[in-house]
Amino acid sequence: MDPRLENRTIVLGISGGIACYKACELVRRLTQAGAQVRVAMTASARQFVQPMTLQTLSMNPVATELFDLTQESEIGHINLARAADALVIAPATANIMAKLAHGIADDVLTTVALACTAPLVIAPAMNVQMWRHVATQTNLKTLRERGAHIVDPGAGDLACGEVGEGRLAETEQIIEAIAASLTPRSLQGVRFLITAGPTREPVDPVRYLTNRSSGKMGYALARAAQRRGAQVTLVSGPVSLAPPAGMKLIKVETAREMHDAVMGELDNSDVIIKSAAVADFAVAGASEKKLKRRETQPTIELTPNPDILAAVGKKKGQRVLVGFAAETHDLKKYAREKLREKNADLFVANDVARADAGFDVDTNQVELFFADGREESTGLLSKDQVAERVLDAVESLLPEIHRRSNEMPA
C-alpha cells in the first residue's frame, strides 16, 4: 500500500500506441498501491491491448464506448469524470494531446477529459519526429500552462526503429507524478536543502571507509518535499538510486565535499534536513598510490571531519534545521543531547540496530524530538511514509520560524 494513493480513484486513459502494453503494469502497480483504477480506452488503444486484460487487472469495468447504452448506464462518462481524484493519460499519443489541447471530445476518453476537473497527468509516448514536431510541442506547452503534470518521455531506442525522445516514462516516474498531483502544495516555494547517503573517505585510490547508508531515507524526503511544491537541492553521497527528476542534485564523495556543498547552498535554503550518514573521521594522509601488501603493513590514522550539522547550526538564522540521529542504544538520551548541542529545531532518531529500520532497508521507525520539548514517535512505516511525517513536523515549525523572523528587528 502507498498512503499517497490508497483509496484514491485514478482514472487511467489509454490512447493507442505500442506503449499500451506498459499501461497494464501501471494498472497493476496502482492497484497494489491501494488505488481504485478505472480505465477508459480509445479505439486505437484497443488495437494494442484487450479491454479484458485491463478489466481483470483493475477489477473494474473498462469504458470503451461513448454511445453504448449498457456502458453509459453502468459506467457513465460524467460519473467517471466526477469519480476521478486524478486523470492519468498513459500512454498519451500526439493525437490525444492535440485533442486535449483543443478541447475536442469525440470519444469516451476525450469526453471524460473535458468533463474532468481533477488533476491531469499526461505521460506522452510516440515517435521522436512526432514528439519534436512544432504542433506537438505547442500542444504540450498549452497543456503545461493549463496545469497538466507532464511526465516527460525518455530517450533511447524506440519501437519504430528510430532513436531519440518518445519512450514512455518508467512506471515509477508516472506513479510519482500521480502522487505529486494528488498532494497539496503546502510547501510551495519553500527551499529545501537535503543531504542523503553515505560519504566515502579514501584510504588510497582504490579503497575507502564508508557506512551502510543507501540514501533511501534522504531521497524519500527529497521526493516528498518536491511533491509538496518545495524547491529541493539534494546533496548526495555515492548511492545506487536513480537521480530524482526536477530537483538540483549535487553529488559528493567525502564529508569535506558534503560540507562545502552544504555551506555553499546555505543562503539558498529555508529548511535543511541532514539525513546523510557522514563519516566522522577521514583517513589522515591517504596514500596517493595503491598500498601494496608486500611493501607495507599500514596503520590507518584518522582525523576528525567537519561536523556539518554543527556548522549549519551556528549559522542557522531563521532557517529550520533538522538532524537525524542513528543510534544503537539510549536513543532518547543521545537524540535530545544532539538536538541541543547542534542548535537544531528537530531531531529524527532511528534505531539502526534493528533489521527493519535505519540503514539500507525500505522501512523505518523514528522518534521525533522538537526543540520546544514536543516528542512524537511513529510505528514501523515505509521510508516514504516516514518522510511525510517528518515534513508534517517541519510544516508545524515553519509558521513559528516565520513569526520569529517577522519579530526580528530590521
Give the residues lining the site for ligand PMT (CB under 6 A): 197, 213-218, 255, 274-278, 280, 305, 307-309, 323-326, 338, 350, 352, 358-360
Minimum gap (Å) between residue 232 Cβ and ligand PMT:
17
For 204, the 3-state DSSP assignment is strand
Report yes or no: 68 and 107 within 8 Å, Cβ to Cβ.
Answer: no
Measure the CA–CA gap between 263 and 279, rounded to whole angstroms: 17
Q: Please, what's the b/e burial string for 25-60 (b: 16 or more CB within 10 A of its CB; e: otherwise)?
A: ebbebbbebebbbbbbbbebbbebbebebbeebbeb
- Nearest to ligand PMT of 175, 276 (CB atom): 276
Other CB atoms within a 10 A radius of the CB of residue 328 amount to 11
Q: Which three cell numbers stand for residue 34?
A: 491501494
Per DSSP, what are the bridge partners of residue 221? Answer: none
> How near is the Cβ of 329 to ligand PMT at its closest, in Å?
12
> Closest distance between ligand PMT and the C-beta of residue 234, in Å?
12
- The secondary structure of the chain in percent helix, strand, coil, rounded to multiples of 5, reads 35, 25, 40
Minimum distance of ligand PMT from residue 335's CB (angstroms): 8
Least distance (Å) from ligand PMT to the CB of residue 217? 3
> Would you say 40 or 194 has its CB closer to ligand PMT?
194
Pairing of strands 163-167, 375-377: unpaired
| Residue 20 known to be catalytic | no
Name the catalytic one among 20, 24, 116, 160: 160
- Can you name the residues that pair with 39 across neighbouring β-strands? 12
User: Are residues 175 and 30 in contact, defined by beta-carbon separation less than 8 angstroms?
Assistant: yes
Query: Which positions are annotated as active-site residues?
Result: 160
